[in-house]
Amino acid sequence: MDFIQETLKKGNKYIWYSGIVISLVLLSFVISQVELEKIKSITSSASWIIFTIAVLILLTEGFFTALRFKLFTPGHPPLKNCLKITAWFIVSLVILPARLGEVAVIVLLKKHLQQSTGAATMNALSQRLIDLIFLLGMLLIFIFFTLQFKQDSYLYMLIFLLMIMLLISIYKMDILLKLTASVFYLKKRRVKNSLLKKIFKVILQARTWYRHHLDNNIITQA
């Protein structure tokens, strides 16, 4: 559990510990309200074939996530390291509250794949943007088969525009990072603030990673 300790060091420990305690309290409350007889009934009536298929799908998804970590990391790291990161990433999403597992994966990428903070952040962010485009595409297909186009044409256009904006943000991320860095650079010259300097450094690391690694071919493969 070293990565959890390192993750705690990256932020306010009181916030992290408070979140974990609250999650445990809420989980304990939910478990206390569960009737064991109903759980036994549900378990006995469950289809183990469907359960096995679901587990296999989950494992397959984890494998492809590991492949994406490998694809998005310079230097072609060993697949076993990417699989290890994926396993801990899934565990962190389950045990850490408020999607803090998304922060933990940055720590994992830094520790096991030797990525800088900016590169690890962009690695995770780029993958989430691609996932969001895929989910919006699936939503578009679902709406197409379940709703009438004439009545909900505005919804089609909204989803389509969101997908276009996300695609542009991925392919033009260099420009967005450059603009963001310029803002922090102006502040950096006027204000001697260590936090601003760190943010500015992370943005530069992210831009370097994007310019030298994330090309159109890698985005298409992802």
pLDDT tens-digit map of 187-199: 555 556 677 777 8
Burial of 47 (0-12, 13-18, 19+ CB in 10 A): exposed
pLDDT at position 154 is 77
Residue 46: name the closest of 34, 58, 54, 56 by CA. 54
pLDDT at position 88 is 83
Mean pLDDT of 42-54: 76
> What is the rounded CA–CA span in Å between residue 187 and residue 197?
9
pLDDT at position 192 is 60
> What is the rounded CA–CA span in Å between residue 48 and residue 36?
19
Mean pLDDT of 77-88: 85
Other CB atoms within a 10 A radius of the CB of residue 188 amount to 16
> What is the rounded CA–CA span in Å between residue 201 and residue 73?
19
Other CB atoms within a 10 A radius of the CB of residue 106 amount to 21
pLDDT at position 87 is 84
pLDDT at position 1 is 47
pLDDT at position 16 is 57
99: left (phi over 0), alpha (psi -120 to 50) or beta: left
- Which stretch of 43-52, 77-86, 133-142 has the lowest confidence by average pLDDT? 43-52
Contact 74, 212 (CB under 8 A): yes
- Check whether 14 has a pLDDT greater than 50: yes
At 65, is the pLDDT very low, low, confident or very high (cuts 50, 70, 90)? confident
At 137, is the pLDDT very low, low, confident or very high (cuts 50, 70, 90)? confident
Mean pLDDT of 131-147: 82
> What is the rounded CA–CA span in Å between residue 216 and residue 222?
10
36: its two tokens: 């064991």
pLDDT at position 141 is 82
Mean pLDDT of 175-188: 75
List, for residues 154-170, the tens digit of each pLDDT value: 778 888 888 888 888 88
Measured in degrees and rounded to the nearest 5, phi and psi for residue 116 equal -75, 165
> What is the rounded CA–CA span in Å between residue 45 and residue 154?
43
Mean pLDDT of the chain: 76
At 3, is the pLDDT very low, low, confident or very high (cuts 50, 70, 90)? very low
Max distance between CA atoms of the chain, in angstroms, equals 67
- Check whether 9 has a pLDDT greater than 80: no
